[in-house]
Amino acid sequence: MAVDLARLAQDRQYDVAIVCTGDTDLIPAVEDVLNGNTGAIVEVAGWRSARYRQRLSLPSRNIWCHWLQWEHYEQTRDDTDYAVSN
């Protein structure tokens, strides 16, 4: 995901990327996109509930977060078993 995030921004293949993970390994790629001269914007999505709140963040930048709740997950859940071959 990090490679695609950086490469596609460099190739100007997107205007806005919404990164849906809390994996901090992506921070260098996000910083690369935001510090580059591509015009691309990176936003994040994170889970929020009464007891849980997590999102990918950068200490040096304020990144817009799309907070998701259980209802959002239920509306977009994909129950497809991709291990089944056709």
pLDDT digits (tens, 9 = 90+) for 5-56: 999 999 999 999 999 888 889 999 999 999 999 999 999 998 887 887 888 8
- Within 8 A by CB and 6+ apart from 20, the residues are 44, 45
pLDDT at 86 over 80: no
Tell me the residue range of the domain where 37 lies.
Answer: 2-70
The span from the CA of 28 to the CA of 19, in Å, is 13
16 domain residue, yes or no: yes
Spatial CA neighbour of 76 closest among 23, 22, 18: 18
Query: What pLDDT score does 41 carry?
Result: 95
What are the pLDDT digits (tens) for 53-85?
Answer: 888 889 888 999 999 888 888 898 889 998 986
77 domain residue, yes or no: no
Number of domains in the chain: 1
Query: What pLDDT score does 12 carry?
Result: 96
85 domain residue, yes or no: no
